[in-house]
Chains A and B, each alone.
Chain A
Amino acid sequence: KAGVTQTPRYLIKTRGQQVTLSCSPISGHRSVSWYQQTPGQGLQFLFEYFSETQRNKGNFPGRFSGRQFSNSRSEMNVSTLELGDSALYLCASSLDGRGKNTEAFFGQGTRLTVV
């Protein structure tokens, strides 16, 4: 059974550009969450999608957005990149986020560097 796949693994972007990251969840998983990991702030929740709808959102500016497709694949977009957006972005999938199915499986992450 394939795990959570995130592409690309590494990205280098310039300030002011925008970027799109992709996440393919484990087959059958319908909930996809995104997290930002930085040395200073640790792991912070960005948003969660379930059945193509954003179900929960963390405390990030509107430059951070996402979406989920009918096959549960998800993308997140960051516009007008800032140096502080440099981070490891992690995607996690779970069956449906309810009851005992809240166990989340993480991808290897996308390392974004903004220069």
Chain B
Amino acid sequence: GNSVTQMEGPVTLSEEAFLTINCTYTATGYPSLFWYVQYPGEGLQLLLKATKADDKGSNKGFEATYRKETTSFHLEKGSVQVSDSAVYFCALSEPWDSGYSTLTFGKGTMLLVSP
């Protein structure tokens, strides 16, 4: 079945540092890939997505590129802020023409940014 593996946290950074959170996936077809963010006490918010190989998703300074050859979708940000402290989830969905909305999530990576 499908699976998502992401680096374990917590990732601790100082403000303005460069961020990378690794994510790799296993899927039988051609999934769509997502990064979601969860702030304390909240639900999940979609951060960015990519629906086909070589697509780059970007939002709020975060970006990730769909790499089919390495089955990866690493999240990056050039300069993190304290307000970026949250848990980040990498996820994939069934092939988009299957009709299903099922998301398979990684375990999540906690990011802690200090001033």
As a 0/1 sequence over residues 66 to 102 of chain B, the CB contacts with chain A under 8 angstroms (1 = contact) are: 0000000000000000000000010001101101111
**Which residue in B45, B51, B105 is a CB contact (below 8 Å) of A100?**
B51
A103→B105 contact, CB < 8 A: no
A42→B44 contact, CB < 8 A: no
B56 within 8 A of A: no
21 A–B contacts, CB within 8 A, in A order:
A4-B43, A33-B101, A35-B103, A43-B105, A45-B104, A48-B102, A56-B101, A90-B43, A92-B44, A97-B100, A98-B97, A99-B97, A100-B51, A100-B96, A102-B32, A102-B96, A102-B101, A106-B43, A107-B43, A108-B41, A108-B43
A34 → chain B closest CB, angstroms: 11
**Complex CA distance for A92 and B101, rounded to whole angstroms:** 9
CB neighbours of A102 from chain B (8 A):
32, 93-94, 96, 100-101
Residues of B participating in the A interface, judged by any CB pair closer than 8 Å: 32, 36, 41-46, 49, 51, 89, 93-94, 96-97, 99-108
CB neighbours of B89 from chain A (8 A):
43
B99 → chain A closest CB, angstroms: 5
B48 → chain A closest CB, angstroms: 11
**Which residue in A4, A100, A104, A108 is a CB contact (below 8 Å) of B103?**
A104
A113 → chain B closest CB, angstroms: 14
Interface of A is mostly: strand
A99→B96 contact, CB < 8 A: yes
Closest chain B residue to A109, Cβ basis: B43
A97→B44 contact, CB < 8 A: no
A55 within 8 A of B: yes
As a 0/1 sequence over residues 3 to 19 of chain A, the CB contacts with chain B under 8 angstroms (1 = contact) are: 01010000000000000
B60 → chain A closest CB, angstroms: 16
Contacts known (A42-B105, A100-B51); A106 close to B100, Cβ less than 8 A = no
B10 → chain A closest CB, angstroms: 14
CB neighbours of A68 from chain B (8 A):
none
A92→B102 contact, CB < 8 A: no
A94 within 8 A of B: yes
CB neighbours of B97 from chain A (8 A):
98-99
